[in-house]
Amino acid sequence: PKDAVRILVTGAAGQIGYALAPMIARGIMLGPDQPVILHLLDIQPVAGSLKGVRMELIDAAFPLLQGILATTDVNEACKGVNIAVMIGGFPCKEGMERRDVMHKNVPIFKAQASALEQHAAPDCKILVVANPANTNALILKEFAPSIPVKNITCLTRLDHNRALSHISERLNVDVRDVKNVNIWGNHSSTQYPDANYATAATDSGEKSVRELVADDHWIDSEYINSVRERGSEIIKARKLSSALSAASAACDHVHDWIIGTAKGTWVSMGVSSDGSYGIQPDIIYSFPVTCQKGEWSIVQGLKINEFSREKMDTSMKELTREGSLAYSCLNQ
């Protein structure tokens, strides 16, 4: 039998944490033959609720779950973890500005960066979910300089999955038959859902989504806006931000990163830019990536038209501004 993998979930008493922990314990993240030990971190005011989550996980008697550490001590939580899913922080509530969220979350990430650096397994892979996700990942990278940059990523897979499902609904095909959509940039309203390379499997083989949709206005406008605005739509409908879909996307992200992407298929991940596609190096930007043997690589050679270029640059500029704002939050 395989050794158990230790997985840290921060914000574990929150709504995404509550949806994610059982998915991990059921083997959805790492597969049906991989035992796991969950490290659940939250803060003192919700310690009671965290304890309840732990009790429920015990009661579910998951065969793969070999242990649960539930704590409000960040150093204890990070000890020996192989994977860290960073959800803990303040959610963006209706009417809240990104800047307000940043002020609350940036100092948290600075502290957690140090804890991970000191206590996590040296090859720990990190996924930042808490918003502003790209910039929190940037802060983490900055304040955990000994963690390899390749191991720090942020979640844009929810946007990616939304993009797939939008196309599947529009074309009335199974979502698994759609592939190679892509989210460029920030997990924010400037993200650019790009369907130019997307394909869908049809009875007569794989076809370009743009050709199948046969409505450029939809691809270049409605589709982009509805993927971007889906998070707000959910908040309006639920009075709470996305949780089960976010947890599922976090599982997909880590799963594909570690187990690998299917041949000929890519996914979107927020990763440290290496300058590909003219994106400013070192910012955390969402790119199309393929994964193999636990390593992601940015898909190369995609043709970028003027329309895409402008949208990719807009999101890059927003990220640069967000980065500066984050540093100013730290200095206040």
The residue annotated as part of the active site, out of 39, 160, 166, 187, is 187
CB closer to ligand NAX, 23 vs 171: 23
Place of tokens 């199974």: 174
Kindly give the pairing relationship between strand 65-71 and strand 83-86.
unpaired
Say how far apart CA 268 and CA 182 lie, in whole Å.
6
Length of the chain: 332
In the bound state, the residue with its beta carbon closest to ligand NAX is: 14
The rounded distance, in Å, linking the Cα atoms of 254 and 295 is 11
Specify the DSSP element, H or E, that contains 48.
helix 47-59
Structure tokens, 284: 């955390």
Provide the minimum distance between the beta carbon of 156 and ligand NAX in the complex, in angstroms, as a whole number.
7
* Residues 6 or more apart whose Cβ sits within 8 Å of residue 262: none
> Is residue 155 within 8 Å of 241, Cβ to Cβ?
no
Shorter beta-carbon distance to ligand NAX: residue 129 or 267? 129
Torsion angle of the four alpha carbons 160, 165, 170, 176, in this order, in degrees rounded to the nearest 10:
110
- Torsion angle in degrees (nearest 10) through CA of 147, 149, 150, 155: 100
The verdict on whether 187 is a catalytic residue reads: yes
C-alpha to C-alpha distance for 27 and 126, rounded to whole angstroms: 18
Nearer to ligand NAX (CB atom), residue 199 or residue 241: 241
Minimum distance of ligand NAX from residue 197's CB (angstroms): 22
Closest CB 249 distance from ligand NAX, rounded Å: 6
Q: Dmax over Cα atoms in the chain, in whole Å?
A: 60
Within 10 angstroms of residue 184's Cβ, the number of other Cβ atoms is 25
Q: Between 91 and 323, whose beta carbon lies closer to ligand NAX?
A: 91
| 42 versus 313: smaller Cβ distance to ligand NAX | 42
CB 139 within 8 A of CB 113: yes
**Beta carbon nearer to ligand NAX, 92 or 147:** 92
| Residues binding ligand NAX (CB under 6 A) | 10-11, 13-17, 41-43, 46, 87-89, 91-92, 108, 129-131, 133, 155, 158, 187, 241-243, 246
If one counts every other C-beta atom within 10 angstroms of the C-beta of residue 119, the result is 17
Catalytic positions are: 187
